[in-house]
Chains A and B, each alone.
Chain A
Amino acid sequence: MSALLEVEGLNVHLPVDGSLRRVLHDVSFTLEAGKALGLVGESGSGKSMTVRTIARLLPQGAKVDGHIRFDGTDVFDLRSEALRRYRSGDVSMIFQDPRSHTNPVRRIGDFLTEAMRINGKVPAREASRRAIDLLAEVGIHDGERRMRQYPHELSGGLLQRVMIAASVAVRPRLILADEPTTALDVTTQAEVMGILGRLQREYGMAMLFITHDLELAAASCDETIVLYAGGIVERQQSKRLHDDPLHPYTAALVQARPDIDHTTGRLPAIPGNPTSAYEAPDGCAFAPRCRFAQDRCRQAFPPLLTIDGIGASRCLRTDELRGTLLAGATTEEVTQ
């Protein structure tokens, strides 16, 4: 199967105070139809920017290099009408904060049926019948009443389900989920993820899922990409990521999580602060915080090394360190 989404050598710069600042650095990945891919990283690591670039939602003045191909067509070649069709039919997006992403003065029903009525040319009555069905799909069974309500009358979890319903309404081929559960409490989060995962599989949609929760990515995605300072540091099957990380940063993230089976005093933290893409040093962006860093790591931006059958890692020492990353870190980190 050929890839539905191909991102190749994506570099994005945004204008900040008159100068261009790097936000994405050589991001490349592919996503096949029907698969779920997780994007994991700290705040400012470029997760949202990647997704926004795919949806062509960049602020004015942004400078983009590289290619994003959707079903073979370069997304940056799309002009007005084609872009509108791409956004309305092929991709849809779920946002982190459903409350600020809905128009407060429009009813839920208007919100749900709008895309259908203007893009699918569905008559109003038919659209609202379908919308009620969609609400039932996401577990809202009093849809008829909800359709007449305003966003402020719904709880966050409920509103996020409405967002999910709206985003799958047109049966897109790709769903961009930008931290869809971050604004929700943990129990609601599980419900919403369940619904999203089920719809994704049932409708055979591809999903790009952004989160900073490694567990969540592992639970809902086939593969996971780890981003650091605007660049991909690792790509691997989600279920292997915990047991056999390829990149020291991923390993450090895995170790920084609490483990329910063991009692620990202090969790090992990664020394230093996360860097943004524009202030990252030459060479490997993670080198200043990496306990495996060598001189050569600081000299040139390392390439993304593909490891056949497993994934990819942007670490010069990948082969050498493999299997040893998770060992012995705890004591060393705690003493720092």
Chain B
Amino acid sequence: MTATTATAGLNRPGTWLRRRTGGLAPSGWAAVAVLAIVVLISFVGPYLIHTDPNAVDLSSAYYAPSAAHPFGQDASGRDILARLIFGGRTALIGPFLVVAASTVVGTVLALAAVWFGGWFDAVVVRVIDAIFAFPGLLLAILATALFGAGLPAAIVALSISYIPYIARVVRSAALRERSLPYVAALRVQGVRGSMISLRHILPNVASLIVANATLAFGFALIDLAALSFIGLGVQPPTADWGAMVGQGMAGILQQQPAESIYASVLIVITVGAANLLGDRLTERSEARA
């Protein structure tokens, strides 16, 4: 009864945010800020600017920055700033879909493998290892060769090849969690395995999942940008950072590197921030485990 008063304060409503986000290092918060700005510009920006990113004006190819075109114009005279903003949307949605799909599938697969154990677990582990053996980019190139160049095939292929990254981490964490006494206590209460997995084990490994999904987001962005760079991903004239780096290559030879450089810098900043945040989140979840 004495513990009543001492611990009562922990339940103040105002501490919810702190409880959920506590323990994140300052560099992690910086990464959050950078990502928030990138996402905001990419998704709100297109509604704020009135320049058509696909408006071709061959007479003003490679024009230097001006009041109307602050970042200059590309080989076809299109506004680089507008293309960077619209391209951000494409560049971010792709990896987001990849991460969402592979995280959901990987997590469910891992939780099921841990719960059922035995031969099912063995099969899942082997399949995961087999997928691991294929470089994701190679699988994506194969998929685009089979189903035609474009974002959808690349996203599906990358989603599959990213499943192991999530599934492995979730499996090992869930395995540890499953052996804890509280799981035995739930089983003896007659709680279904699916319930224990989803309502008890999953929340306890959630922080690890978020951390790894964040890391995977950075890798997926690079992979998709690389695919678009070699022309197998996003197809012209749709604006995309990876595609812009590729299209800007011609300009580099003509002393006009602006388009490639701007797009590259945005990719580096976004991926760097995602990796940094992913690392900080991993450290945080490990500190708690």
Contacts and interface: CB of A to CB of B under 8 A. Distances in A.
Interface string A82-101: 00111111011101010011
B255 interface: no
B182 A100 contact: yes
Interface in A45-67: 55, 57, 60
Contacts of B181: 95, 97, 100-101
Nearest to B189: A115
Interface of A: 55, 57, 60, 84-89, 91-93, 95, 97, 100-106, 114-115, 118-119, 142, 145, 148-150, 152-155, 158, 166
Given A149-B11, A153-B10, 14 more contacts: A84-B190, A85-B190, A87-B188, A93-B185, A101-B181, A103-B203, A103-B204, A106-B203, A115-B190, A119-B190, A150-B10, A154-B3, A155-B1, A158-B1
A156 to B, nearest CB: 9
Contacts of B3: 153-155, 158
Given A57-B184, A101-B182, A153-B11, A142 B192 contact: no
Contacts of B185: 93, 95, 101-102
Interface residues of B, number: 27
B189 A87 contact: yes
A118 B191 contact: yes
Contacts of A145: 8, 11
29 contacts: A55-B188, A57-B188, A85-B190, A87-B187, A87-B190, A91-B188, A92-B188, A92-B189, A100-B181, A101-B182, A101-B184, A102-B182, A102-B185, A103-B200, A103-B204, A104-B204, A105-B203, A114-B186, A114-B189, A115-B190, A115-B191, A145-B11, A149-B11, A152-B7, A153-B11, A154-B3, A155-B1, A155-B2, A155-B3
B65 interface: no
Nearest to A101: B185
Contacts of A102: 182, 185
Interface string B223-257: 00000000000000000000000000000000000
Interface in B254-288: none
B138 interface: no
B117 interface: yes
B182, B191, B199 — which one has the most chain A CB atoms within 10 A of its CB?
B182
Given A92-B188, A118-B192, A149-B11, A142 B203 contact: no
A182 to B, nearest CB: 14
Chain B contact residues, majority secondary structure: helix
A148 B204 contact: no
Contact of A100 (B7, B180, B191): B180
Contacts of B180: 100
A105 B182 contact: no
Given A60-B117, A154-B3, A93 B11 contact: no
B188 A103 contact: no
A78 to B, nearest CB: 11
A92 B189 CA distance: 6
Contacts of A93: 185, 188
Interface in B180-230: 180-182, 184-192, 195, 199-200, 203-204
A192 to B, nearest CB: 13
A162 B161 CA distance: 46
B215 to A, nearest CB: 23
Leading 7 A-B pairs by shortest Cβ distance: A88-B190, A155-B3, A87-B190, A101-B185, A153-B7, A100-B181, A93-B188
B66 interface: no
B59 interface: no
Interface in B83-131: 117-118
B4, B118, B192 — which one has the most chain A CB atoms within 10 A of its CB?
B4
B184 A166 contact: no
A166 B180 CA distance: 19
A146 B271 CA distance: 44
B5 to A, nearest CB: 11
Contact of A89 (B10, B118, B190, B195): B190
A148 B4 contact: no
A93 B183 CA distance: 13
Contacts of A85: 190
Nearest to A159: B3
Contacts of A95: 181, 185
A278 B11 CA distance: 49
A148 B11 contact: yes
Contacts of A106: 199-200, 203
Contacts of A142: 4
A87 B188 CA distance: 5
A85 B189 CA distance: 9
Interface in B155-196: 180-182, 184-192, 195
Given A60-B117, A103-B204, A158-B1, A166 B189 contact: yes
Contacts of B190: 84-89, 115, 118-119
Interface in B1-37: 1-4, 7-8, 10-11
A16 to B, nearest CB: 16
Nearest to A191: B1
A87 B184 CA distance: 11
A103 B191 CA distance: 13
Nearest to A163: B185
A154 B117 CA distance: 34
Contacts of A89: 190
